[in-house]
Each structure stands twice: as C-alpha cells, then as structure tokens.
Chains A and B, each alone.
Chain A
Amino acid sequence: MKLELRGITKRFGALVANNNISLTVESGEIHALLGENGAGKSTLMNVLYGLYIAEEGDILLDDVVQKFAGPGDAMNAGIGMVHQHFMLVPVFTVAENVVLGHEQTTFGGRLDLSAARAKVREISDRFGFDIDPDALIEELPVGVQQRVEIIKALSQDAKVLVFDEPTAVLTPQETDELMIIMRQLAESGTSIVFITHKLREVRAVADRITVIRLGTVVGDASPTATNAELASLMVGRAVELTVHKNAPELRGPALTVKNLSVIDSRNQSVVNNVSFDVQAGEVLAIAGVQGNGQTELTEALLGLQHHVTGSIELDGKPLRGYSVRHILDSGVGFVPEDRTEDGLIADFSIAENLMLDRSSGAPFVKAGNLQLGFRAKFAAEKIAEFDIRSQGSEMEAGRLSGGNQQKVVLARELSRELRLFVAAQPTRGLDVGSIEFVHTRIIETRDSGIPVIVVSTELDEVVALADRIAVMYRGEIVGIVPGNTPRATLGLMMAGEHAPATESGL
C-alpha cells in the first residue's frame, strides 16, 4: 500500500511541531525518517496514526484521502505502529494484548481467546518468532515484547507499518534480527516507515531517507550518503561525530569494587558479584542493554541501594554502608540516568538546582540562612561556564530543553571537588550538539585526573568515550575489554557471551 502525506501541519499552541511536511512511501519500501529528538518525527507519526489531528494537510493511502478521528480508524485503514514505548499491558498475556480493541466474543459476551492464540501462533510461525500466546508480557524480554508489538500490528492486517525508534531498547544482535524482519515484511509488500536518529541503522536498511529538522523536511538522502552528510543534514551544521581524546594518563587505582552484589526490593539479585577497578585519569564505560544491573550498580556506588554486599573503596577508604551524604562529601559526583526524575527538581530554579547537594552548609547556607547573593553569583558563573541557554538563573529548570537540563546537572556535579565521577546515560535524549558538549566535558574531567565511570546503553557513546569497557549482562560483568574492542565483540558480550580469552588477557 502506498502512503502519502501532503502538507501536514501540526501546532501545539504557539509551537509548530510539524510544518508543511510531505512524504511518500511506496508499497514495499522501507522509508527512514531521520531527525533529532524533538524534530517532530513522533508527532508526525501520531498524526498518521490518528492520535493527533493535524491542522492542515492530507493523509492518502493508495491515493485516497483518509480522515482519521482516532487510532481505530487508522488501524482499520491498514496502518500499524510499533511504538517506541511499547503499547502493551504488562499484566496481560500476549494473546490478550494482541486482541485488545478487536476482541471476539462468544455467547454471553465471553471473551474468545482461542482465535487470538491461533493468530499469534500463525504470525509467529510465519516469521519464526516462537512466542507463547499465554506468556505474560512483563515476563518477556524487551526484544520479544517488540515482536509482540509487531504481531499486534500484523494481526490487524497492517499494510503500512511504522516503527518508532525501534532499536533504542535492543542489543546489537536483536537490532540485526529486527532489520531482517523489516526486510522480510517489505518483501511481502508492507510499506515501512522507520523512525530513528541512528545513522548506522538507516544506512543499513532504508531504501530512501527523509531528514526532518525543527518540524520541516530539510532534505532527502539515499542510503549511500555518508554518516557525516546525514548528521549535518540532521543538525543543520557540520558536526563532530568523533570525540577527540588523547591516550589516558593513568595515575594509579582510585576506585576498587570487589564482589559487589545488590539485591533489590523483589529479592532479585540484580548485581551479582561484580568486581572492577577504575584508575585515576581513565574512563571506564559500563556497557549493556538497559536493565542488566547498571542502574543498581551506580546506585550502589552512591549509597542509594539498601541490600549491598561486597566492598567499594575510593582512594583506600571504604564507601559501602555509608550515607549518601557521606559519599557525596567523599568526592563522588553523580549524573543520574533519569535527569527529570532524579537529577533535577523541575519546579526549582536553575540556581536552586545548582545548590541542591550543598544545602547543608557554607558557602550556600550560613546560620541556617540561604545565601541568595552568593547563589545568584554562583549560578551566573555556571550558566556562563556550561553555556546553559536560559532566561537567567531564576528560570525553572523544568522549562529548559533536555540538553540544557543536563548541563545544569553536569554543572552542579562538576563544580565540587571530585575524586570520582559517575555519569549514567549522560546523553540520553539529547540532541547532537549537546552530546558533543557532554562528551567533551567528560573527557576534560578524565584528563584532570579524576576516575570516570560512564554507564551507557549506546554502543556509539561507549566506544567514543571509553578507555576500558565493562559489559554487564544479567547483573554480572561479562568481561572488561579495552576501549578499541570491535563492536561485534561488544555486541556478543551484551548478549551474554564471554569475551574471547585473547582479548580479556590483555
């Protein structure tokens, strides 16, 4: 089925999220929609899917203008969507999720799930998925959950399938498998819209590429375009895709973690007997797919986890079992992975956020009184130093863009006297420009002789920053390898395969 979007304009108040966007996807084509976070890709797809109503423009399927009042209409017209955040009810089974909204019933309104089970089996056989229709969604790995999303769309006979940032949660291997599935689907005549900001994937699988920036189409490209060309189209200027760094200047072990285990509130051993050390002046990247214990590991370093065993020593002094306050005072800087939830208080001003971890005494507080003058001066300095684009230090942090919010967090953490810097997902959801900035600051921190731990699920980031890479899988460190380890090896390790002996022996 051929999909055509003509002159779509969608506004949210004064903000124009989509400005006169036109796009054609031929039958059986994989069309990549490339753009930064906030460029308007998801808005456009939500318009297509009937979740938003566009102010202007038409949606055409096989040259027939469509009117979608809601997702139900879009689905009936043959549009399916694989959402970035899966639209699956975690406590329902696969079959229940697949039929939700299109349930068949028998006598007395009884739900008929047997047809749904058959449908799930039929589609999973067609693509070799091997999915149990009666499995609970919350017990399935994310890669499998995504396949359920695909089955859900296909069970409604979708002829146009939209994949919204589908690879964000996948291992490199799962990503490869997804690419094969997308190819398979395209060959059977399904038109595919593939939304992403990852250049590599676009070039691997797309037939055509449309680049969106700030809500407008800025150009078309063919899959043969180079990464640099695509990135500059996406950002609107030439960007530095590689981080410039010199060889690390090692200054001896600083952080030593031995046999660390963390048990979470559900009595699961989420970090299992992990040992590593970080030298002053190097970046140790902790790679792995989301949810393999990285979060809990960093939280354990900060004293935020309750059931922790093993030992953590920073410069010979133990940290485990101490309060967060004590650990911060020992010189640990921490960028949490969810900046809006844990990194900032959205309703507080930039100045207030900058002093959050120093409310206990001078120079910000004297005799119980906030030193407003000092705080304003400090905030102004940091805003200038970290290039935080704002309307002054009294602006609410929640109104800043993601990149500027992260700069506030970085400014707060890096302005203390540090002996260890832990950054969890430091560039998640940031635009390319901000990523450059954050990466540069991290490398500067390393070069000033501070041991740095970077936790990231993005292989690009891991490879760009790391001097050494520890790969985590199911709460264990599969291996610690040098920073120049090939991506394929890292990918295998992220899926739980141990590092080849030759490399781990370096």
Chain B
Amino acid sequence: MSTLTQSSAPASAPIVKPTAQIRSWKIPITFGSFAVLSLILFVVLGRGQRGELSTFRLSEGRDLIQLPEVALPTFATGMFVAVVLVLMAAASAWLVYRHAKIPIVLTIPFALLFLVGFLAWAASGSTIPVPGLLIGTVTLSAPLIFGALGGVLSERAGVVNVAIEGQLLAGAFSSAVVASATGNSYLGLLAAMVAGALVSMVLAAFALKYLVDQVIVGVVLNVLVIGLTSFLYSQVLAPSANLNSPNVFARLNVPFLSEIPIIGPVLFRQTIIVYVMYVAIALVYFGLFRTKWGLRVRAVGEHPQAADTVGINVNRTRFIAVTLGGVIAGFGGAYFTLGAVGAFNKEMTSGMGFIALAAVIFGQWHPIKATLAALLFGFATNLQNVLGIIGSPVPSEFMLMLPYVVTIFAVAGFVGRSRAPAADGKPYIK
C-alpha cells in the first residue's frame, strides 16, 4: 500500500460544487450575425441615401388624443442602428469572454433596436401605421393564444396536445354552422367550445384509457378533423350558403380605456373574442398557480405517482384538464369564422395550431410566457401584412416565411433550455 494517491484538496477547505466555466458563444454569434446583417442591409445596401424619411404614425385618425408622427431620416437611422448593434454584439462577446452572464437588458434592446432599424429601412419614403401594426398583432394572435393556453393546460397535466390544430378547426367549423343556423353568434361561441372539448375528449380517452401514443393520436385527430370539416364543407355548407354566413362580431370600444394613446386602440378596440382572451389568460394563470385544482393538475403532470399516493385520481384530473384545454382552444377557433372572415373555409386554420404548439414550448409551458410567444408570432405575421401594403423592398414570398422562420428560431433557440413537465406524454400505469 505504498502507492496511495492523495486528493489534492486541502483538508480544511469547504467542499462546494463549483459551477463550471464553459463559455457559450450562442448569443454573441447570433448578435454578431444580426449586426452584420444590419450593416449590409442598412448601410451597404442602405435605402434613402437621398434623404428620404421613414415616418411612424402613432395615432389613428379617430383618436381623441393625437400623437405627432415621427419622421426619421432612413439612412442615418439605419447607420446609427447598425453601429449600435455592432457595439452591442461586441459587448456580448466581451461579457462571454469574461464569463459573465448576458443580461436581459442587453437582449431586449438589441431585438427592439434591430426591429426599429428594419422598419425604418423597409418604410423608406413611406409611413408605417404603428397602431395598425399592433392592433393586427393582437387580433392575429388571438387564436394562437387560445390554442397555446389549451396546450399549456393539457401538457401541464401530462398529456401532449398535438391536436390544437384540430381543436381550432373544429371550433371554427361548428361556430360558423351554429351561428348561421341560429342567427346567434354567442351560441356559435358555445358550439366552438363544445367542439373543441369533443376533440380533446377523444385525445384524452385514447391517451389515458387506451394508452395510445399521444403524439400519434394528436396527429391523427388533426387529419381527421381536417378531413371531416372539409367533407362537410363541400357536401353541406357549399350547396346551402345560409349555413355558412354567421354574423361577425363587431369591434367594441371600451369606454375611456380605448382613448389611451397607442395602448387604447391596440388592446381596447377589439372584438368580444379578444376580451374573453384577456380573461382566459388570467384565469388559466390563476387556476394553474394559485388554486388547489392547479396544484393537482401540475402534480399529475410532474409526478403522477406522487399524486396517486396522496389520493388524487390521476386520470380523472388529466381528463378534466385536457377537456378544459379543448374548450379554450375550440373557443379560439371561433375567431377564424366569427372574429375575422365571416365564413368557414376548408383548412382555414392553416397550421395555426402548430404555431400555437410552438408557442407552448417557447413559452416554457407557462400561460403568460406562452401568450407572449404567441404575440411574437402574431407580430411577425402582421408585420408581413403591413409591409406588403406599404410596399416593402423584400419579396413578399420571403415575408410570408417570416412567422415560420421566427417560430423555428425561437423553438430551436429555447427548446433546450425550457423543461417540459416531467411526465408530459407519459401515460400513468400503476
């Protein structure tokens, strides 16, 4: 026993588990790419070199309080933004080199500044209606937010919900039919909730009782609902138009609140569907994190066996949560018919349910964060609309990709860091 090796730590040193120092260059590289992009776009290929202005309109014509328009010189703004972005990218690289964390007060201004630079560049010589851009964002986000809230509820309880698309579409279809047949749009909303609940009950039954793989059930349900609604549309709705002409909800102005500059038009001149959305966000948050019911839902999603051993009926709790999720997502489906278009069309949700699913993941299975994620996608979609109208230099096909590109980047960048409920997708078998 002469070859004993001694641990190198001195005997008296406190033993702590140090956090290791691995530099992650992800953020500096992303910042750097955007800084380079802005240099090329705003400076090298800069528009407005003959002194054009980019105008931002902050108020709508019917507002009581009129904010002045802001006109920025396009090229100078682009130059300024590009330089600041380069500096910020350098700062982030320096921080990483020094093993410091990159604070959120660097990331958020970086994103906003790039956005301002991009808008100024795109709107050279024309006007961007800022309230219109934001109003559309909230409106377009509504179905995404409802879908995401439904997904959050379901997945927090431990059932992967790929069927959001199907729930939205079922809600859209049944709300259109019921609202047209009865002439009452509120009954249409009710029908949307019932339809969403039915779809999710099928999901819950297969996932919880028959233990079928939840992703597969979800995908099949989506295909089923697409097929069913498309069939009924061409066989029933198309021949008799009076079954597909619901009254669209009008925008309601909330007194006083709707007159606040910018915020008023954006948040408080919306349809009842959006107002219900505000309530739904608050309720889902409160329900999940402040009530006994929510504690149990999260418990069955994290550690169903622990819940079982304290007398909680795991499958019943999951079933109820999934069904409620379907109610919310189905309600969101009514937006397509009663909130926007005014008639049902084949596959009119066009993948919004999958974007909502991305928002659930990007939003770390949290109702508020998922809402913010959905708003980001809604903004990207509406930005594409607005730039199309004012005549952006970017090809419209490229702009059409924008929401999806944002989705991919967001999910790819954040999915590793967010942690799903531990028992998400795993059936509970005693």
Contact = CB atoms under 8 A, between A and B. Distances in A.
B191 to A, nearest CB: 28
Nearest to A81: B309
A71 B312 CA distance: 9
Given A90-B303, A100-B310, A269 B19 contact: yes
A89 B156 CA distance: 13
A496 B306 contact: no
A: contact size bracket: 35 or more
A498 B295 contact: no
Interface in B20-77: 20-22
B188 to A, nearest CB: 30
A259 B3 CA distance: 16
A70 B311 contact: yes
Given A87-B310, A89-B302, A506-B4, A474 B17 contact: yes
A87 B298 CA distance: 14
A189 interface: no
Nearest to A482: B1
A473 interface: yes
A101 B312 contact: yes
A91 B3 CA distance: 45
A92 to B, nearest CB: 7
A478 B7 contact: yes
B307 A504 contact: no
Nearest to A269: B20
Contacts of A52: 430
B295 A96 contact: yes
B97 interface: no
A477 B308 contact: no
Interface in A481-500: 482, 496, 498
A198 interface: no
Contacts of A498: 7, 11
A20 interface: no
A273 B308 contact: no
Interface in B286-337: 290-296, 298-299, 302-303, 305-313
Given A267-B19, A474-B16, A476-B15, A100 B7 contact: no
B3 A277 contact: yes
A75 B310 contact: yes
A259 B6 CA distance: 11
A227 to B, nearest CB: 28
Contact of A71 (B15, B294, B299, B309): B309
A272 B227 CA distance: 58
Given A71-B308, A476-B7, A269 B15 contact: no
B8 to A, nearest CB: 6
Contacts of A100: 295-296, 299, 306-307, 310, 312
A87 B309 contact: yes
Which residue, of A105, A272, A277, has the highest number of chain B Cβ atoms within 10 A? Answer: A272
Contacts of A75: 310-311
B310 A89 contact: no
B7 A90 contact: no
A273 B291 contact: no
Contact of B5 (A86, A277, A501): A277
A101 B311 contact: yes
Contacts of B310: 71-72, 75, 87, 100-102, 152
A87 B296 CA distance: 14
Contact of A109 (B291, B312, B313): B291
Which residue, of A269, A468, A473, has the highest number of chain B Cβ atoms within 10 A? Answer: A269
B104 interface: no
Which residue, of B1, B296, B312, B430, has the highest number of chain A Cβ atoms within 10 A? Answer: B1
Interface string A64-99: 000000111101000001010011111110001101
A276 interface: yes
A321 interface: no
A103 B292 CA distance: 6
A497 B299 CA distance: 38
A392 B296 CA distance: 48
A269 B311 contact: no
Interface residues of B, number: 39
A89 B22 CA distance: 30
A331 B415 CA distance: 39
A268 B20 contact: yes
A433 B9 CA distance: 40
Contacts of B422: 90-91
Contacts of B291: 105, 109-111
Contact of A276 (B5, B19, B299, B307): B5
A504 B422 CA distance: 44
Nearest to A481: B4
A111 B295 CA distance: 8
A480 B3 CA distance: 10
Interface string A146-159: 00000010000000
Interface of B is mostly: loop
B303 A51 contact: no
Contact of B17 (A49, A268, A480, A506): A268
A51 B430 contact: yes
B395 interface: no
A279 interface: yes
A168 interface: no
Nearest to B419: A91
Given A109-B292, A263-B22, A474-B16, A51 B308 contact: yes
Contacts of A479: 6-7
A269 B306 CA distance: 31
Given A109-B292, A269-B18, A88 B306 contact: yes
Contacts of B19: 267-269
A103 B308 CA distance: 15
B294 to A, nearest CB: 8
A307 interface: yes
B17 A269 contact: yes
Contacts of A482: 1
A100 B295 CA distance: 7
Contacts of A101: 296, 307, 310-312
B22 A307 contact: yes
Contacts of A38: none
B8 A504 contact: no
Interface in A426-462: none
Contacts of B3: 253, 277, 279
A480 B312 contact: no
A89 B299 contact: yes
A275 interface: yes
A475 interface: yes
Contact of B293 (A70, A91, A109, A263): A109
A109 B22 CA distance: 45
Contacts of B9: 273, 476
Nearest to B306: A87
Contact of B4 (A88, A97, A468): A468
Given A100-B295, A103-B295, A474 B15 contact: yes
B187 to A, nearest CB: 29
B22 A267 contact: yes
A91 B5 CA distance: 40
B311 A477 contact: no
Which A-B residue pairs are the 10 nearest by beta carbons?
A: A72-B311, A101-B310, A87-B306, A263-B20, A103-B292, A269-B20, A498-B11, A477-B7, A109-B291, A87-B309
Given A97-B306, A269-B19, 8 more contacts: A72-B310, A91-B302, A100-B306, A100-B312, A103-B292, A109-B292, A267-B22, A268-B17
27 contacts: A51-B430, A70-B311, A71-B309, A71-B310, A72-B311, A73-B311, A86-B306, A88-B306, A89-B307, A90-B422, A91-B302, A96-B295, A100-B295, A102-B310, A267-B19, A267-B20, A274-B7, A277-B5, A307-B20, A307-B22, A478-B7, A480-B6, A482-B1, A498-B11, A505-B4, A506-B1, A506-B4
Interface of A: 49, 51-52, 70-73, 75, 81, 83, 86-92, 96-97, 99-103, 105, 109-111, 152, 253, 259, 261, 263, 267-270, 272-277, 279, 307, 468, 473-480, 482, 496, 498, 501, 504-506
